């Protein structure tokens, strides 16, 4: 085909479209700007040419001049993937809906935060969503470059950045109260690592409320939020000579492990011999073998809130940081003797 000869190998540019339509390059550019002053005739001519060449503005080149890449960096760890795999999907959907794109950065042990935030900055992202603890120095670096930062289920010391969290502490205060009202008096808590932020909050809320209710002693053991460690922690608790009849776990995976350890290894009945409560409401929690009482985080709402806060701050970088907290929903199933209301 003779007419296709001059079709360039790569993708068409605005110059190609301009040549084909017989107009200037800037006219083409204007046709792809939402509110440009342009005649209907011109618009039709240009769009026809653009369609023929499969042209769409090069987002990279555009961002160089507009100083808006429409790219948002999302930082996650493997733990995030395990606990709430849907968060990434939800964030991406919420972002795409607003015309924003998601550049993913998975944090591993070998790859430090420091290098990561450097990489993030090189891509001139419009904002950062961190589903992992971000050192204050890194937050400051973003702030300095005018990049909006929103933390997911983390809070920045000194409220240096926006954050959206589930109210872990309140939820577990409630659980403490209800277990107490359900008749329990001796408690244990299977926590995550001592420096795991969400685990800390969940533990604190639980212990604090029990203290207010006159229960001063809670047996606490630390796992790593995995099923396996929940299993091990339960066995360790049972091997001690302290009595307890309710175990609250920092997350569902550990609660499921604890439940299986109690039932299959020690032949205890749940909840007759021991009550178990988790956090997250993972898929397995509602199934017949478990029927785990737990707390569900409003993941979709949280994702949307994260994106809203980010968008506002991209539009107006002067906006002050806001710390948002959203209530979790207690899902009462069959794994614990718990007060109804």
Partner DNA sequence: TTGTACGCGTTATCAA
Partner DNA sequence: TTGATAACGCGTACAA
**Which residues make up the interface to a copy of itself (CB under 8 A)?**
9-11, 54, 56-61, 63-64, 67, 69, 71, 74, 76, 78, 81-82, 85-86, 88-89, 92-93, 96, 101-106, 108, 111, 118-119, 121-124, 141, 145-146, 227, 253, 256, 260, 263-264, 283-284, 287-290
Considering the rule CB under 7 A, would residue 13 count as an interface residue with DNA? Answer: yes
Q: Are 121 and 144 in contact (CB under 8 A)?
A: no
b or e along 293-328 (b: 16 or more beta carbons within 10 Å of the residue's beta carbon)? bbbbbebeebbbbbbebbbebbeeeeeebeeebeeb
Q: Distance between CA atoms of 58 and 48, rounded to whole angstroms? A: 18
Backbone angles phi, psi at 51, to 5 degrees: -60, -40
Token couple for 136: 């204050």
Q: Which of the ranges 50-58, 220-228, 308-316, 329-337 carries the binding residues for DNA, by CB under 7 A?
A: 50-58
Characterize the bridge pairing of strands 162-166 and 148-152.
parallel
* Site membership for DNA, residue 41 (CB under 7 A): yes
Nearer Cβ to DNA, position 15 or 89? Answer: 15
Which lies closer to DNA via its Cβ, residue 58 or residue 81?
Answer: 58
Task: Evaluate whether 163 touches 324 at the Cβ level (below 8 Å).
Answer: yes
**C-beta of 119 vs 273, nearer to a copy of itself:** 119
Q: Find which of a copy of itself, DNA, none residue 111 binds, CB within 5 to 8 Å per kind.
A: a copy of itself
Distances (CA, A) of 313 to 58, 255, 337: 25, 38, 45
Q: Which is nearer to DNA, 59 or 93 (CB)?
A: 59
Contact of residue 117 among a copy of itself, DNA, none (CB under 5-8 Å per partner type): none
Q: Segment 52-111, which members bind DNA (CB under 7 A)?
A: 55, 57-58, 61-62, 64-66
- The residue range among 7-15, 95-103, 241-249, 329-337 that interacts with DNA, by the rule CB under 7 A, is 7-15
The continuous run of DSSP H or E covering 165 comes out as strand 162-166
Q: Which of 205, 239, 198 is nearest to 221 (CA)?
A: 239
CB atoms within 10 A of CB 239: 8
Write the DSSP string, 284-302.
GGGSTTT--BEEE--HHHH
Q: Residue count at the site for DNA (CB under 7 A)?
A: 26
Q: Which entry of a copy of itself, DNA, none binds 88, CB below 5 to 8 A by partner kind?
A: a copy of itself
Residue 110 or 316 having the CB closest to DNA? 316
Binding residues for DNA, rule: CB under 7 A, are 10, 13-15, 23-27, 29-30, 32-33, 37-39, 41-42, 55, 57-58, 61-62, 64-66
């Amino acid at each position: 085909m003779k007419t296709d000869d001059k079709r360039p190998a790569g993708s068409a540019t605005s110059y190609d479209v301009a040549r084909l339509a017989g107009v200037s390059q800037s006219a083409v550019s204007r046709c792809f700007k939402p509110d440009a002053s342009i005649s209907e005739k011109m618009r039709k001519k240009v769009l026809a040419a653009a369609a023929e060449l499969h042209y769409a503005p090069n987002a990279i080149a555009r961002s160089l001049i507009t100083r808006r890449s429409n790219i948002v960096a999302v930082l996650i760890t493997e733990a995030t993937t395990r606990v709430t795999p849907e968060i990434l999907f939800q964030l991406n959907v919420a972002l795409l809906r607003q015309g924003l794109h998601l550049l993913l950065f998975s944090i591993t042990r070998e790859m430090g935060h420091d290098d990561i935030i450097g990489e993030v900055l090189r891509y001139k992202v419009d904002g950062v969503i961190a589903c992992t603890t971000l050192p204050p120095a890194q937050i400051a670096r973003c702030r300095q470059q005018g990049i909006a930062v929103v933390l997911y289920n983390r809070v920045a010391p000194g409220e240096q950045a926006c954050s959206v969290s589930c109210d872990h502490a309140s939820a577990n205060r409630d659980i403490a109260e209800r277990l107490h009202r359900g008749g329990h008096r001796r408690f244990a808590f299977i926590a995550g690592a001592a420096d795991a932020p969400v685990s800390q909050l969940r533990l604190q809320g639980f212990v604090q409320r029990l203290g207010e209710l006159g229960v001063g002693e809670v047996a606490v053991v630390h796992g790593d939020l995995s099923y396996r460690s929940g299993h091990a922690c339960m066995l360790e608790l049972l091997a001690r000579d302290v009595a307890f009849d309710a175990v609250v776990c920092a997350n569902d995976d550990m609660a499921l492990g604890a439940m299986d350890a109690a039932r299959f290894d020690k032949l205890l009945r749940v909840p007759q011999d021991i009550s178990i409560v988790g956090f997250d409401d993972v898929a397995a929690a509602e199934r017949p073998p478990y029927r785990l009482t737990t707390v569900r985080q409003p993941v979709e709402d949280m994702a949307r809130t994260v994106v809203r806060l980010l968008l506002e701050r991209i539009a107006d970088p002067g906006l002050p940081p806001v710390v948002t907290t959203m209530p979790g929903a207690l899902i009462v199933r069959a794994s614990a003797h718990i007060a109804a209301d």
